[in-house]
Amino acid sequence: MGHISTDINQGALPALLPFLIAEHGLTYTSAAGLVFASNLVSSVVQPLFGHLGDKVEKPQLMCVGILLASGGISLMGFLDNYWVLFFSAMITGVGVALFHPEGSKLAAYVSGERKGEGMSIFAVGGNIGFAVGPIICSALMLGIGMHGTVVFVCQGAVVATLLLIKVKAIHAAAMLQKTAAIGLADGEQKDNWPAFTLVSISMFCRAIVNTCLNTFIPLFWVYVLAQSVTAGNARLTVFAAAGAVATLLGGRLADRIGFSRVIMICSVASAPLLFLFTFNRSPLVATVLVAFIGLAMSGCHSTLIVAGQSFLPNRLGLASGVLYGLTVSVGGIAAPGVGLIADNFGIPSALLVLAFVGVLALVFSALIPKLPGDGIVAPALRGDKK
Backbone angles phi, psi at 314, to 5 degrees: -95, 0
Q: What domains lie within the chain, and their CATH numbers? A: 2-182 (1.20.1250.20), 193-367 (1.20.1250.20)
Local structure of residue 149 (DSSP, 8 states):
G
CA–CA gap between residue 210 and residue 216 (Å, rounded): 10
What angle separates helix 229-257 from helix 301-311, to the nearest 10 degrees?
50
DSSP letter string, 58-84: -TTHHHHHHHHHHHHHHHTTS---HHH
Mean pLDDT for the stretch of residues 25-53:
79
The answer to whether the beta carbons of residues 246 and 296 sit under 8 Å apart is yes
DSSP letter string, 367-379: HSPPPTTTTPPPH
The reported pTM is: 0.76
The answer to whether the beta carbons of residues 111 and 117 sit under 8 Å apart is yes
Q: pLDDT tens for residues 298-355?
A: 899 889 988 988 898 888 878 888 887 777 677 767 877 888 888 889 999 999 999 9
Query: Which of left, alpha, beta for 370 (phi over 0: left; psi -120 to 50: alpha)?
Result: beta
Q: pLDDT tens for residues 140-194?
A: 988 899 999 999 999 999 999 999 998 888 877 777 766 554 444 444 578 899 9
**In sequence order, what are the residues at sequence separation of 6 or more whose Cβ sits closer than 8 angstroms to the Cβ of residue 384?**
none
Confidence band, pLDDT 50/70/90 cuts, at residue 201: very high
Q: What torsion do the CA atoms of 176, 182, 187, 189 make, to the nearest 10 degrees?
A: 150
Helix, strand, or coil (residue 191): coil
